Structure 1
């Protein structure tokens, strides 16, 4: 009892130091528990991957070859360390033949893919941010050999800032270590689904490809400028909307848009096309039975869907709005029967306070969607955008592009992506 009284007096006489000690202990305990939980997650996933690596294969089989495009500049320059700590052990434990290609400059991935053949790899993995993923998708889609994208699936190891597409596939509410481990494990399992791709064709014939969508306007510009207000610390996200509202008002995006509204009739696949057809499962010989090879699941090939464009009717309108978004099916309601591009058009003349309030709401309630539900929306089969101001920019999957006239179209079931759940669908 005397010890307790003495201890209480010490705390009372040194209450400032005591508060600091308690706060430090609490935060230190949470930090230690977080590190322990992350290490436990890594061990569990490696143990599961080891089951695949320990399975015997026949003489005729070989380990799956995986090509990893790693962007060392991601994760603040620590992408290699993060990849080797979280994803690489899972891939190696599963017995995969992993070839890591470090991306040293912009455009290198597209050059590498231009000479890659189907026999060179069994899968491609993008270890980086949204920019590296965008370049990889563009490189795959530009290949003359269409069978490459029909047979070679793509995996994602999210190492960037936003990782929008990876979070759409695996869930955006996960711890970053759990997210990376689940992404790596999906590559080991080899299960995947086809994904719709957005085609963005310029007048000069150059075509880029995206997964999520395009956005332009005042909110996108404000988001891009937030790094300039670093001296506001945690308030820089909110301050950027205040400065944007008073610097150039009204901050509208003006353009002429032409579009074909999507209907159930004009978005149907051409007659004679079939969806995915599984190949027959290979039969093993009596000799291979001695080695008890791992069961080979039916391989699902990707059959691209084409639509009939002969009876399309274009509609045209002049646009003046604070925001314009064009998003793919991966950001839409999966129960939606008609598949097309969802175009969102913000208000034409919002008040200053409405603009700031909406910007602050996006800071407080971050979402993987583009735009907001209150925007005017329409579902289109294709759309052409002709901006008035050439100094503006588009944000395509988080990467900035010049705002030139562009025709945007949805290409259905073009690339297979590894995912966790074999019944999971995003298109």
Structure 2
């Protein structure tokens, strides 16, 4: 009893120290519990991967080979440690032959992709952020060998700051360890889905292939500047939009856009054109096809080309051109924008040309708290288009493409339907 009384007096007399050490003890217990739960989660995924690794390989077959492009600079330089602790064991236990390529400079992934062949790998996995994924997708579709993008699936292990593609494929509510493990086990399960790609053609070998789209305007510029205000801590994002409202007004993006409105007819012809290009590389050369099929295929191809040329000429006649001055311009797909349009095409959103300062600040603050993928605002003017050409009017303007910054330049944007195969969760194996 005397011990309890003595302890109570000590706690009362030294309540500040007691409170401090109590908080430290609670934090330590929570930290240890979280680490324990993370280890249990890793073990659960490793046990599933091990079952795949224990399956017998048929005579004459070899283990799957996966090429991993790892950006060690991602996640503040912790990317390699995170990959090796969570994702790598799952891939190895599944009996996969893993070839890890650590990137050392920007553009290296595209260089590797240009020499990678279907005989070298069965899948490509990007372990990094938005920039590394953008490089890999661009490298995939710049290859002259179209069979590579058709037969080699692409995986994403989220090691960047925002990981847009992963969040679209796997959802938003996954914590770090589960996200890494789920992306790795998706490669093991080999469940894929077709995903649309956005082509941004800047001419002179400056073509970029993106997954989410393009943003330009005041909100993009504000998000780019917010890291400069790190000294505001958690309020830096809110201060960014206040500071934007204090600068030269209105902060608008000026350009000339010309676009072809999307219809079911011209979008279906576009899909047929892509299928025709694909078929050129998938035709088998057999004795029977050489005798009977070659001539018929040539006639069909010529007929399709003639129809496609006529459709393209008709589209160009209906191209609409106008000058814009807007607080924000975005281009994404109707699928990602949750557009009610039955036509799978591009969606162009144009913000107001003369917003009030209060409107800009309120909209910016709303986006800080948003969840899920979103481009533009609900009040924007929306256009559903097959193609759109953007020509900026002023220098010093910038685009944001899949989370990466590019200097604004004239660009022709079009949609490539179901162009790439991405590894995905088991319950979402469907076309987008």
State how far apart, in whole Å, the 2-side matches of 1:142 and 1:404 are.
20
Q: Which moved more, 1:15-24 or 1:42-51?
A: 15-24
Q: Quickly say closer, same or farther: Cα 1:82–1:16, change in 2 above 3 A.
A: same
| Structure with more helix by fraction | 2
Give the structure 2 partner of residue 222 of structure 1.
222
**Which residue, 310, 314, 326 being the options, matches 1:311?**
314
Determine helix, strand or coil for the equivalent of 1:394.
strand
**Which residue, 340, 344, 348 being the options, matches 1:339?**
344
Q: Which moved more, 1:73-82 or 1:322-331?
A: 322-331
Determine helix, strand or coil for the equivalent of 1:133.
helix
Give the structure 2 partner of residue 72 of structure 1.
72
Give the structure 2 partner of residue 194 of structure 1.
194
Give the structure 1 partner of residue 167 of structure 2.
167
Q: Deviations over 1:288-326 (max 9, x none)?
A: xxxxxxxxxxxxxxxxxx985343221122111111110
Give the structure 2 partner of residue 16 of structure 1.
16
Contact 2:337 2:375 in 1 (8 A): no
Q: Quickly say closer, same or farther: Cα 1:110–1:138, change in 2 above 3 A.
A: same
TM-score of the superposed pair, with normalisation by structure 1: 0.88
Q: What's the offset of the Cα at 1:14?
A: 2.2
Determine helix, strand or coil for the equivalent of 1:120.
coil
**Which residues of structure 2 form unaligned runs of 5+?**
280-306
State how far apart, in whole Å, the 2-side matches of 1:205 and 1:106 are.
17
Q: What's the offset of the Cα at 1:6?
A: 4.1
Contact 2:330 2:349 in 1 (8 A): yes
Question: Which residues in structure 2 correspond to 1:382-401 (within 5 Å)?
Answer: 382-401=387-406
Residue 419, structure 1, aligned to residue 421, structure 2: no
Question: Which residues in structure 2 correspond to 1:87-166 (within 5 Å)?
Answer: 87-166=87-166
Determine helix, strand or coil for the equivalent of 1:270.
helix
Q: Deviations over 1:258-286 (max 9, x none)?
A: 11122222222339969x99xxxxxxxxx
Residue 28, structure 1, aligned to residue 33, structure 2: no
Q: Quickly say closer, same or farther: Cα 1:309–1:27, change in 2 above 3 A.
A: farther
State how far apart, in whole Å, the 1-side matches of 2:71 and 2:4 are.
57
**Which residue, 251, 269, 272 being the options, matches 1:270?**
272
Q: What's the offset of the Cα at 1:85?
A: 0.6
Give the structure 1 partner of residue 409 of structure 2.
404
State how far apart, in whole Å, the 1-side matches of 2:51 and 2:383 are.
48
State how far apart, in whole Å, the 2-side matches of 1:337 and 1:357 are.
32
Q: Deviations over 1:200-230 (max 9, x none)?
A: 0114353111001100101110111111112
Determine helix, strand or coil for the equivalent of 1:377.
strand
Q: Deviations over 1:72-131 (max 9, x none)?
A: 111111211111011000000000000011111111111111111111100000011110
Give the structure 2 partner of residue 381 of structure 1.
386
Determine helix, strand or coil for the equivalent of 1:343.
strand
Question: Which residues in structure 2 correspond to 1:31-42 (within 5 Å)?
Answer: 31-42=31-42
State how far apart, in whole Å, the 2-side matches of 1:226 and 1:383 are.
30
Contact 1:193 1:422 in 2 (8 A): no
State how far apart, in whole Å, the 2-side matches of 1:134 and 1:87 are.
21
State how far apart, in whole Å, the 1-side matches of 2:6 and 2:205 are.
82
Contact 1:69 1:125 in 2 (8 A): yes
Q: What's the offset of the Cα at 1:25?
A: 2.5
**Which residues of structure 1 form unaligned runs of 5+?**
278-305
Contact 1:91 1:184 in 2 (8 A): yes
Contact 2:172 2:372 in 1 (8 A): no
Contact 1:329 1:426 in 2 (8 A): no
Contact 1:212 1:330 in 2 (8 A): no
Give the structure 2 partner of residue 320 of structure 1.
325
Determine helix, strand or coil for the equivalent of 1:254.
strand
Q: Which moved more, 1:251-260 or 1:351-360?
A: 351-360
State how far apart, in whole Å, the 2-side matches of 1:338 and 1:91 are.
39
State how far apart, in whole Å, the 2-side matches of 1:241 and 1:133 are.
29
Q: Quickly say closer, same or farther: Cα 1:4–1:378, change in 2 above 3 A.
A: farther
